[in-house]
Structure 1
Amino acid sequence: MTNKTNNTPYYSVQHLLREFAKGLGTKALAGKKIDDACKSTEINPFHLEALKKSLIHDPLTKCVNIYFADHVLEQFERVTEFYLNLIKSVPLDGVDANLAQQFIDRYFMTFAVAEICSSSLNGMRLTSRDIAWSDKTLMSLVLENLEDSMEWQQFLINSTESQKECLRAWALGPGAELPKLSSITSLGESWQRGNSWGAFKARLITARLWDYFFYRSGYTDLALLRHSSPKQCLETLVSQLLNLLQQGTIKYEATSPLALGLFDLLRLRTPKVADSQGRCFELLDQLRSQQEKLDINNEATYYYHWMNARYLLHSGELLAAVDEYKLAFEQVIYRQGENAEKIIIEAIVTACRCPKPNKRFINRLRRMAVVLKIDLMPPEHSGDEDKAKPQEIESWEIAAFSQYFNAFFTRDSFFPGASYPTNPHDTNGVWMVDETTHQLDIEKPDKVFSVGMEGGLVKQMPQLVYFSMLEDVNAISTLLNSSADVNRLSSRNESAILLAIQSMQANVMPLNSMKEELFQLLSQKPHKRSVLDTLTEKKKLSPLGCAIQTGRIGVVRKLIEMGASVDRRHDTIGETPLFTAIGLIAHHTRPHLNAGHWEKMKYSQMNLQSVRAHSAGLLPHDLEHLKTVMAKQDSDPVFQSIHEVVKKTEIGNILKYTSADGFRQIAKLLIEEGADPNAKHDTAMLGYTPLMLAIELDEAELVEAMIDSKQYQANFQDTCIDSRTGQRVDIERLIREWRASNVAKALS
């Protein structure tokens, strides 16, 4: 495995993916994209997921079936998790990158290949040790094994001469030709329930993967598996890397007391004494001098930049600290996992505190945080499932991290006399409004108010949006008669019509007037589709999404007539309106099941995203600290008592102001207007569709409406994945497990 593009001892995750794509014979399917990705240690996680799909899941689904594709991708993810844990557990400060990579090539990749192939080997009653001692390629062993199958024997009888020649060539031994994936695909029949071709082709692909690594790659070591289990290979690797670390420690021995002294003096949230700033300056100067002599390959210099960043920050030099954090970040990733996590979090919080945050750098940090599994993948709202687009950090997130600065870098931890950076972002926190502050200005119908009391969230709101929030019908009527622009948005992307709809929404706390007059007034004016499809910052509310939550079909129909897109995703997890409408039926038909579902999903990615967006800055934005605070709330009887009252009140309002049949009619309308019944959603079931949700709730009428849809064909061959077990679930199983008797009857 070659890695000429960076000088890190650990390979990047995309490098691992490229190597396994070579083993599977799929690299050419996205050759330039994966090669370009490997030119940098950093990668956008959406792009990484798209590459996994292109190089593993899609081709294996086509060649074998979706179940085998799931399995191999799951095994790759599992091996990647082992790898990331290795990076966090074994720091390689001061270690020569090339030496470390030689050990990773030999031991980790040997472990990884054996681990990924283990299930297929078990199916053939083989172990890694068996194959290592056989002196045969796995392909020749697989072909021998297949000879015991009558179905395979029948295929051999009917196969063409060219197919027989291919099989003979594949079985020749260590120098044999590796089959192309297309050649394996074309063998025999396609997989279907009742035949063995899925198992046959899965074993042939597994053999190709194994033989590529152990007979072609040139860096794995099959002999290791003669005397060691895959787990023991991993343990040996750890031992070898620790030996390299010890050698690095000796090489940089002169810097150790300097590094330890700086770490002690620059501890976070620890008050600084009067002479500590001068002492830190001296130690940093000495450390830099030593590093320049010893470290020509940046094997340990990240630490100097990290400590210098802390020094500059606690001296009040925010922008200079960000520059140093940038250098530390670039040099620490894929070298020292534990410190990489600390540097990423510190750098994000510091960069977000700046008056003009460097969004490009913040996004780089956040993407690597996702890749390294220390933050959540941002939800997609575009509707394009395959789009590998960078997710830009939003102003409310910057404000949340900036507010977190106060707790993360406390005022008393700064050096005496250093200026403490004030919070330049007022777009986070509790929103407190004095309704007597702003008066209607007819002379300037599009005048913008700064709304919010000092110390909390402040929004810039056009008059029309502001008085819509107050449900002041007379003011709205006056402004509309004065030609106020209905397409003007607040600084948080709220439109007047969105707030008018929210005044009728049944699942908000506290309830608003529940009157429709304001909506009727505003909906008479033409609106741009872009405004009707705009999502608010943070909570990602849309007019159509909120309209569905009113339970009023007339409001939903009017918005669609005005031009709202029926499949515009909304809310923090990116639901389609149809999915929302069907899901709300459960409050009426299966309330206990609905409550249990949300309790089980409390610490899921979906719920953590929602908590972040709805916390108004009262909870930490950092993922681990957020989980800690939520766990404390779970054990706080007072908090739980208040939470139960709020939940009970909200559900009571939904039951009072909406009905199951009302949501059914809304769902039918959306289907008639072209809503996609096959749109994928990641909930407790990954890839769950409105069709599946309708089946779960046994809503036969809605399933029939989807079948009758003129725009989409309901996909009854579709599947989803249970996130708790990793098992793929088909429609037939959903009907059976959810006891959807009405749906079963309608489909029979």
Structure 2
Amino acid sequence: MKLYKAKRTTPYPTAQALLRSISTAFDTKSFLSSSDARKLDDSCSKQVDIHIGEFEKLKELTVISPIRNVYGDEIAARVTIFLQKVFKSYFDWISTHPLDGFSIGQANKYLEDSALLSSLVTSTFLEEDNHSQKLCAPNGVNLTILDDVEDNSLLTLFKSKEVKDRVRTWIKQAELPSFKYVASLEQHAPPNSHDEKQWNNLKWSIIATRFLLEFQPHLENARFAFDDFKNSTEDNRMQLSDNYLRLQSLINDVLHEYKQNARSPKSEKNKKIVSELLLSIKTELDNCTELEGLTYRYHQLLGKHLVLSGKLEEANFAYKKAFELSLYRAHSKDQIQAIISEALVVAAYQTKADKVFITRLKSASILFGFDLLPAKTKSENKQKLEVLASNEIEHYRYNFNNCFPAQYAYPNTAYPEYDLKVGSIVEETPQNPLDTQRKNMKVGSKAGVQRKMPPIVYAALHNDVEQVKSCLERGDSVNVTSEVGDSPLLMALSHLDRFDPLTESLDRQIFEAISLKPHSAKILNTVTTRKMNFPLMAAVCTGEPEIVHKVLSLNEDIEIDLRGGLDSESALYHALGLVKECKKPIWTIDDFLNRLQPENLHRLKPLFAGVNIDDLPVIKNERHKKILEEYLEEINKRKLKNYPTVSKMRQIARILIKKGSNVNLTHRIKGMDYTPLMLAAEMDELNLFKLMIEHEGDWKKSYTLPIYATHRNKAINCLDIAKHYRSERVVKYIQTELLC
């Protein structure tokens, strides 16, 4: 397998190298463009870590899109799931089976002898779901189509000798079928010999068989399976030289020293002990090339030593080396995962945060399955996928002191002090915004977080009608924001939020006064840093159609599909979600707990930046459960009191649709690429669904089923969704009006 023969610098092949093998097996690598193939080849030869956005794009261009273009959404969805599962399994394997004591040659031998990757790829390809369908060979796909039998059914389809001869070379495995040639195979057969679905199944049968033949030969010669591979790696370590064992002992001594004194003041003696141990490790590494697989350990331990010494710039460089050398070698919790965790806070605590390195760390963490993408992955004027939440770097900077408390550093170490940008604002004494003529006033305590905001924003934040009116009378502009993006209009709307259980007044006076003033498009299209809120989204949450109308009329350049909120939703998608909320406003304790999924909790990070999430309350006993039940009871009372009617929320959705909101806009929710049209189908909102169809709604648009979900189809469209949720009216409408 070329995967094992290619020159590389890591024991395990990189993700992009495995992707190249898969795209070669499908013969899709250059189907769309030769430049896509070159990009994939370059990513294999010129880099080890790859940006998650670039990797996902290469997957799409060199495998998924070619298959979708020829075989449609269902097969493409199955291949997408296959790729997700293959790479998840591969990274899980690497995390639990480090090869930190192996040379590239040794790793290649063990990988090839065990057929690890061939076994992983083919077993995933043929994995059966709970509908007894093979993942990439569903019902109707024949994997024996290229069997060497005299009366092969494939040969009987064609009259041309040239085509028959080519098929015979496939059957005899003299050559593998070309993806491009197979794509138009029906052109060489008599008309009406097969219908479209039969041809699709037949052609995919050929390509699926080709794929397996590319990997299968390596299974025939395999001498042992996964467990044997694990035992073999352990046996190899037992046979390593005395140099390796001596080096490992020195590494363990440093780790013990760090652990023993982790939460206690350190002395010069502690510093000297670690310095001498690190020097001994460096000497061992310099004197023995067979130990190069442990070099990352030296840089990891050195990085921590330099942090404790206050040498943060040098520490950042050491962590870079540790990260780079541990890739595809040592992915366990104590290895690269620990390196990434420490490196993130060190890189953030530089005089100028090392955003490039932080992005590399975060991207690798997402790729390997240690972390998740933020809700918002696309930024204006940026092509690359965004892997950092809006205030994530500031959160890492805040966490530096939790990871490396100054009182536990080496003697005479002084870390730099930075102004806190994240965390809760505690105002010591309320201020009068009319007392200052300055553009901004500082809010918060000197010992904690302070934030700059214009006086009129401060007055609106505190819902002080008279102060807001006085600010307007003296000429204060409404086209201003605090340093986190809060505007007077947004603050006024937040006091009218009927879905926030903490809303008390619902007094419109400030909104009515501020909305009389001209508003710039910039103010209307500003998304706040922490809550990721913006005026149109806040207007939707008032539950008042006339307020939504008013905000939309403030400037013709308002972005109707601007995204915000913890799930990066458009105003329309959020409005539909609130229709659903109004239909079932009462939360049970199970409803609450069901929302505490990893993705939901991950998306709370921007909101809780500057807070130690480990300190957040969790349910540990019956007393905690009782407290939560009482809390939910109070929240439910407020919901019933404040929530708008379902008809009002439907009216708001209609306003946004008619204003041109994109009803096919994709939202990444629980691993699904959901659209507003899909959400309407789920809720059986027939009138809204019809209106969206009239406004270019694409009910056939599908998303790929998440790997945790089960369904016969893997490409899910509005009809599948409506059937699943028993949305009878939408099902009937699609079947009688859209399918005929």
Native 8 Å contact 1:399 1:425 kept in 2 = no
Aligned residue runs from structure 1 range 223-622, under 5 A:
223-224=220-221, 232-248=224-240, 250-267=242-259, 269-271=262-264, 274=267, 275-295=269-289, 298-338=292-332, 339-380=335-376, 382=378, 388-392=384-388, 394=390, 396-411=391-406, 413-415=408-410, 417-419=411-413, 421=415, 424-434=418-428, 436-441=430-435, 443-444=437-438, 447-561=439-553, 562=555, 563-591=557-585, 599-605=593-599, 607-615=600-608, 617-620=610-613
**C-alpha separation in 2, matches of 1:255 and 1:592:** 61
- How far 1:517 sits from its partner (Å)? 2.2
**C-alpha separation in 2, matches of 1:41 and 1:407:** 31
| Deviations, residues 414-455 of structure 1 (Å, cap 9, x unaligned) | 33x2435365241222222246235325644xx111211244
**Aligned residue for 1:19?**
21
**C-alpha separation in 2, matches of 1:527 and 1:726:** 48
Query: The residue matched to 1:300 in structure 2 has which SS?
Result: helix
**Aligned residue for 1:730?**
717
- How far 1:123 sits from its partner (Å)? 12
- How far 1:64 sits from its partner (Å)? 2.3
Query: The residue matched to 1:506 in structure 2 has which SS?
Result: coil
**C-alpha separation in 2, matches of 1:583 and 1:146:** 57
Aligned pair in 2 of structure 1 residues 270, 123: CA closer, same or farther (>3 Å)?
closer
Query: Do residues 69 (structure 1) and 68 (structure 2) align?
Result: no
Aligned pair in 2 of structure 1 residues 199, 576: CA closer, same or farther (>3 Å)?
same
**C-alpha separation in 1, matches of 2:494 and 2:654:** 22
Alpha-carbon RMSD across the aligned residues, in angstroms, is 3.6
**C-alpha separation in 1, matches of 2:64 and 2:93:** 25
**C-alpha separation in 2, matches of 1:402 and 1:498:** 28
Aligned amino acid, residue 652 of structure 2: I
**Aligned residue for 1:656?**
641
Query: Do residues 31 (structure 1) and 37 (structure 2) align?
Result: yes
**C-alpha separation in 1, matches of 2:731 and 2:589:** 26
- How far 1:666 sits from its partner (Å)? 0.4
2:67 corresponds, among 60, 71, 74, to 60
Query: Do residues 115 (structure 1) and 117 (structure 2) align?
Result: no
Native 8 Å contact 1:316 1:419 kept in 2 = yes
Query: Do residues 674 (structure 1) and 660 (structure 2) align?
Result: yes
Q: Comparing 304-313 with 644-653, which one deviates more in the overlay?
A: 644-653
Aligned amino acid, residue 99 of structure 1: Q
- How far 1:273 sits from its partner (Å)? 5.3
**C-alpha separation in 1, matches of 2:144 and 2:437:** 86
Native 8 Å contact 2:586 2:636 kept in 1 = no
**C-alpha separation in 1, matches of 2:632 and 2:20:** 48
**C-alpha separation in 2, matches of 1:121 and 1:41:** 34
Query: The residue matched to 1:459 in structure 2 has which SS?
Result: strand
**Aligned residue for 2:58?**
51
Aligned residue runs from structure 1 range 93-242, under 5 A:
93-106=100-113, 107-119=115-127, 141-144=144-147, 156-157=156-157, 163-173=163-173, 175-184=174-183, 186-187=185-186, 195-213=197-215, 221-224=218-221, 232-242=224-234
Native 8 Å contact 1:224 1:233 kept in 2 = no
**C-alpha separation in 2, matches of 1:12 and 1:515:** 58
**C-alpha separation in 1, matches of 2:588 and 2:159:** 54
Native 8 Å contact 2:266 2:408 kept in 1 = no
**C-alpha separation in 2, matches of 1:125 and 1:145:** 25
Q: Comparing 385-394 with 117-126, which one deviates more in the overlay?
A: 117-126
- How far 1:183 sits from its partner (Å)? 2.0
- How far 1:458 sits from its partner (Å)? 2.0
Aligned pair in 2 of structure 1 residues 494, 160: CA closer, same or farther (>3 Å)?
farther
**C-alpha separation in 2, matches of 1:660 and 1:122:** 38
Aligned amino acid, residue 655 of structure 2: L
Query: The residue matched to 1:692 in structure 2 has which SS?
Result: helix
Aligned amino acid, residue 700 of structure 1: L
| Deviations, residues 459-512 of structure 1 (Å, cap 9, x unaligned) | 111223222212233333343444434333222122221111111111224214
**C-alpha separation in 1, matches of 2:159 and 2:341:** 60
Native 8 Å contact 1:461 1:489 kept in 2 = yes
Query: The residue matched to 1:266 in structure 2 has which SS?
Result: helix
Query: The residue matched to 1:54 in structure 2 has which SS?
Result: helix
- Percent identity between matched residues is 23
| Deviations, residues 76-98 of structure 1 (Å, cap 9, x unaligned) | 32222222122222222242123
Native 8 Å contact 2:81 2:707 kept in 1 = no
Q: Comparing 519-528 with 498-507, which one deviates more in the overlay?
A: 519-528
Aligned amino acid, residue 346 of structure 1: E
Query: The residue matched to 2:605 in structure 1 has which SS?
Result: helix
Q: Report the count of equivalent residues.
A: 708
**C-alpha separation in 2, matches of 1:68 and 1:147:** 30
**C-alpha separation in 1, matches of 2:641 and 2:241:** 69
Aligned pair in 2 of structure 1 residues 248, 115: CA closer, same or farther (>3 Å)?
same
**C-alpha separation in 1, matches of 2:668 and 2:26:** 28
Aligned pair in 2 of structure 1 residues 201, 436: CA closer, same or farther (>3 Å)?
same
**C-alpha separation in 1, matches of 2:699 and 2:733:** 16
Native 8 Å contact 2:566 2:604 kept in 1 = no
Gaps of 5+ in 1: 127-137, 215-219, 621-625
Aligned pair in 2 of structure 1 residues 419, 647: CA closer, same or farther (>3 Å)?
farther
| Deviations, residues 64-114 of structure 1 (Å, cap 9, x unaligned) | 232222222322322222221222222222421233134324522321342
Aligned amino acid, residue 101 of structure 1: N
Query: The residue matched to 1:166 in structure 2 has which SS?
Result: helix
**C-alpha separation in 2, matches of 1:201 and 1:140:** 11
Query: The residue matched to 1:614 in structure 2 has which SS?
Result: coil
Native 8 Å contact 1:585 1:664 kept in 2 = yes
- How far 1:9 sits from its partner (Å)? 1.0
Query: The residue matched to 2:563 in structure 1 has which SS?
Result: coil
**Aligned residue for 1:132?**
none
Aligned pair in 2 of structure 1 residues 197, 237: CA closer, same or farther (>3 Å)?
farther
Query: The residue matched to 1:322 in structure 2 has which SS?
Result: helix
Aligned amino acid, residue 498 of structure 1: L
- How far 1:584 sits from its partner (Å)? 0.8
- How far 1:35 sits from its partner (Å)? 2.4
Query: The residue matched to 1:375 in structure 2 has which SS?
Result: coil
**C-alpha separation in 2, matches of 1:158 and 1:664:** 57
**Aligned residue for 1:217?**
none
**C-alpha separation in 1, matches of 2:41 and 2:301:** 34
Native 8 Å contact 2:278 2:302 kept in 1 = yes
**Aligned residue for 2:730?**
743
Gaps of 5+ in 2: 135-140
Query: The residue matched to 1:612 in structure 2 has which SS?
Result: coil
Query: Do residues 8 (structure 1) and 7 (structure 2) align?
Result: no
Give the structure-1-normalised TM-score: 0.85
